[in-house]
Amino acid sequence: MSTETRLKFVGKSMGTAVSVHIDDEVSRVSAESAWELVCIFLRDIEDRFSTFLPTSEISRINHGELHMLDASSDVIEVLDACTWLEHASNGAFNARRPDGLLDPAGFVKGWAAERAAGLLLEAGLQNYYLRVGGDIQTHGLQSTGEKWRVGIVDPHNSSRIHSSVDVPENWAVATSGTAERGQHIWGKDATATPPQFSSMTVIGPHLMWADAFATAGFALGDAGIEWVEKFPDYTAFTLR
């Protein structure tokens, strides 16, 4: 069976673009199979966490049809993490909208993307990165032996790459701001004094935390970088 060194697959899930870039000696059939596992997993997460689907667990909790403690272990894990983040950020991160409805979107995407990237490893891939919106989880290196280099979108023009960053092996990058932010930041500081920047990018070893820290850091405004960098191995930078 013939193999290829560089492959890319693109799709859409969780309301955003999803892509995987593979730099392994792998057959297209094997790569497509791994990609399908990612797509199935992300669809399942969307089905359970989306606030737009009346049958999702989050919607059923909001409608009083499902008690939070009777939800699946994944939902309980995510809500526990959101509670910790709310306390750790002094309310800058909040999994509830201003109307009181539960919406953990600010944590779910990074958490789900990191787990989905793990499926690629389980499928036998070693050198790849998975992008879900502004969140990227890498594994291994490029075929040249170099670190993965990923682009940071211009917060004022989503069709333009503002800059790029070399990602340490097996680390993650997450960006929150006007380009990728969406409606998922409702912390008590999110509508207070506007930050003096348009996006915040966080680099660290785990995508679920990089994404959550970027969300909370953006909501914290000018104090966000200092807050993010209290956590070991996580670094933040902003674009104006």
pLDDT beneath 70, residues of the chain? 1-4, 178-195
Question: Is 136 domain-assigned?
Answer: yes
What whole-number distance in Å separates Cα of residue 236 and Cα of residue 133? 18
62 close to 70: Cβ distance less than 8 angstroms: no
Q: What pLDDT was estimated at residue 195?
A: 62
Q: What pLDDT was estimated at residue 74?
A: 97
Question: Is 168 domain-assigned?
Answer: yes
Longest Cα–Cα distance of the chain, Å, equals 59
Q: Which two tokens stand for residue 131?
A: 């992008």
Query: Residue 84's domain spans which residues?
Result: 7-239
CATH code for position 17: 3.10.520.10
Question: Is 2 domain-assigned?
Answer: no
Torsions phi, psi for 101 (to 5 deg): -75, 145
- pLDDT, one tens digit per residue, over 196-217 is 788 899 999 999 999 999 999 9
- Which pTM value belongs to this model? 0.90
Question: Is 1 domain-assigned?
Answer: no
- pLDDT, one tens digit per residue, over 41-65 is 999 999 999 999 999 999 999 999 9
Which residues are CB-contacts of 21 (< 8 A; sequence separation ≥ 6)? Answer: 6, 7, 8, 128, 129, 131
What is the domain count for the chain?
1
